[in-house]
Amino acid sequence: MMVTLLLATEIIVMTAARTSVAAIIFAKNIHRRHRKASVE
Range of the domain at 16: 1-40
Residue 7: per-residue pLDDT: 96
Which H or E run includes 37?
Answer: helix 2-39
**pTM, entire model:** 0.55
Residue 31: per-residue pLDDT: 83
| Overall number of domains in the chain | 1
DSSP 36: H
Alpha-carbon Rg for the chain, nearest whole angstrom, is 18
Query: Three-class SS string for 1-27?
Result: CHHHHHHHHHHHHHHHHHHHHHHHHHH
Q: What is the pLDDT of residues 1-40, one digit of tens each?
A: 789 999 999 999 999 999 999 999 999 998 888 777 776 6
Residue 39: per-residue pLDDT: 67
Q: What is the Cα–Cα distance from 27 to 18, expressed in whole angstroms? A: 14
